[in-house]
Amino acid sequence: MPDDLLVRFVLAALATWRVTHLLAAEDGPGGIVFRLRRALGGGWLGSLADCFNCLSLAVAAPFGLFVDPRRIPWAVSWLALSGGACLLERLGEAPPLVDPFAHSLKGNEDVLQQPTLVDPPAPGTPDAFTSASGSDAAG
């Protein structure tokens, strides 16, 4: 019996992801899902259709009955199926791009900083570099 439960749960999780993805992110055959989302407008149902995580809660409810129709196991299955669909959705996303130059070093007093060029050297100036504290690098 536990194997049957596992198979039902995996099938229900995949079905929950598929239906939620169809409703939230695809146009559907002939654009029917797109027209449905547009007809829902900007109200509560329209905003539900725009949010994958929120929509997965509504989609997972009937699939939870497929896993186990008893009240408490259904409630746990319902939330687990929604969570499984959300995890599957995140697995399919492109990884975030990290820009190492997006953050400045200001405010990081505990980080050792290399001397930086503040101004171009004036003629006759022996050292144009300063440390993070503002004193000359030479002395």
Q: In this predicted model, what pLDDT tens digit does every residue of 1-49 receive, in sequence order?
A: 568 999 999 999 999 999 999 999 999 999 999 999 899 888 888 888 8
Say if 116 falls within a structural domain. no
Say if 123 falls within a structural domain. no
pTM of the full structure: 0.65
Say if 119 falls within a structural domain. no
Say if 17 falls within a structural domain. yes
Say if 113 falls within a structural domain. no
Residues 6+ apart with CB under 8 A from 52: 20, 21, 24, 25, 85, 86, 89
Nearest CA among 54, 52, 68 for reference residue 18: 52
- Domain span at 24: 2-91
Nearest CA among 139, 97, 92 for reference residue 115: 139
How many CA atoms, within 13 angstroms, populate the side-chain half-sphere of residue 118?
13
Q: Structurally, how many domains does the chain consist of? A: 1
